[in-house]
Amino acid sequence: MLNMNRMSKSAERACPGSGNVSTSNGMEDSVHSFKAADLVIELSQTHKAKPDLTNLVFGTVFSDHMLTIEWTSNGGWQKPHIKPFGNLSFHPACSAMHYAVQLFEGMKAYRDTDDKVRLFRPMLNMNRMAKSAERACLPAFDRAELVECIRRLVQVDREWVPQSDSASLYIRPTFLGTEPSLGVKKPSRALLYVILSPVGSYFSTGAKSVSLWADSKYIRAWRGGTGDCKMGGNYGASIYAQYEAVDYGCQQVLWLYGDDHQITEVGTMNMFLFWNNENGEEELATPPLDGIILPGITRQSILELTRKWGEFKVCERYLTMADLRCALEENRVKEMFGSGTACVVSPVGRILYQGENLHIPCQEGFPQLASRLMKELTDIQYGRTQSDWSVLV
């Protein structure tokens, strides 16, 4: 066993006063967090073969090690452990299994041309994870300390970061309530763990546009619910609709909300519409964060980038299917795309709505704005462009 005693300066800068634990609403928690300085590393004695990236199915191959951190209401956070990847053992009454007291995050590590490994805006993932944890009644933790533990895990499994600018190492932090009781209550035990998976393209279509089935029959999220948190229940409940979309010849669901059929999200992605709006202004629009939209890291990055360009109006506003259909009839739609960690940017080419195929302008390959955003974001992620959004491992 090795006891590691160094915390990255980048993590310290990202979350000053890392000895304190804050919840997402800024309230300080009295329970002390785990510390990366206490990290215990147990290296695997065997190493799995690295996969062929050309035929890699998203999230099916995992690295040699994992990070686990246990918590109890009596003992607080225990020391973090990096250990050989393996199965977990839970009590049959585990609250995550029965009542979905569970959440996760999705982030990536990238290898640049100088063989350095980078994370992309990891503190934004930690902020969102802390907010989800608060909503799930799971314990608070120090976000900078978790970033450092993840950074150390990636260091240990550094050879699993693909040497490719079209692939990356997907990082899946997961947080479970492990209360051994059938009572519906705040868990007295929890497990935070992180696993790593080398990935290529998320969609089988690769860089091609995706088709969407838009129907108000199923609702992804609602106000007062947990749509703005990254909880497993949000995704598990969407699978049935996803298969119905496939039955209609589409790849993903365009989630609608309300009697006016507000456009919310695209599959598991945030949605953007580039168009000339009702006032004739060139505008990049995305639904506002009103409680039913997940605050995506890529979404935030696209908003910040395009506002910095200052070339067109950038707006967080409500959009309905009537707005989209009218704009298509008047040839005001330029592009439509989804954004997320897994795919970065994914153009939309067709929407099936009320029995009608709505064709979104989408030239061969990537549309102009989507292509530009993809390049600027991946240039930062792979270290081709210097940015404080990129954190060295």
Domains (range + CATH), the chain? 36-199 (3.30.470.10), 210-377 (3.20.10.10)
Q: With beta carbons less than 8 A apart as the criterion, state whether 71 and 190 touch.
A: yes
The three-class DSSP label of residue 180 is strand
Positive or negative CA dihedral for 360, 363, 368, 374? positive
- For residue 364, the model assigns a pLDDT of 60
* Residue (of 176, 168, 123) closest to 146 by Cα position: 123
C-alpha to C-alpha distance for 245 and 242, rounded to whole angstroms: 5
- For residue 203, the model assigns a pLDDT of 57
- For residue 56, the model assigns a pLDDT of 82
Mutual angle of helices 143-156 and 122-135, in 10-degree steps: 120
| Prediction pTM value | 0.90
Averages of pLDDT over runs of 10 residues in the chain (393 residues) are 38 37 42 91 94 84 98 97 98 97 98 96 98 98 98 98 93 98 97 96 69 96 96 96 97 97 96 98 98 97 98 98 98 97 94 97 79 96 96 96
- For residue 205, the model assigns a pLDDT of 53
Task: Note the Cα 246 to chain centre separation in Å.
Answer: 23
C-alpha to C-alpha distance for 336 and 348, rounded to whole angstroms: 5
In 10 A of CB 220, how many CB atoms?
Answer: 22
* Residue (of 209, 147, 193, 185) closest to 371 by Cα position: 209
- For residue 172, the model assigns a pLDDT of 98
- For residue 136, the model assigns a pLDDT of 98
- For residue 10, the model assigns a pLDDT of 38
- For residue 5, the model assigns a pLDDT of 37
Cβ neighbours of residue 111 under 8 Å, at least 6 residues apart? 117, 118, 161, 162, 163, 164, 168, 382
- For residue 4, the model assigns a pLDDT of 37
C-alpha to C-alpha distance for 391 and 109, rounded to whole angstroms: 9
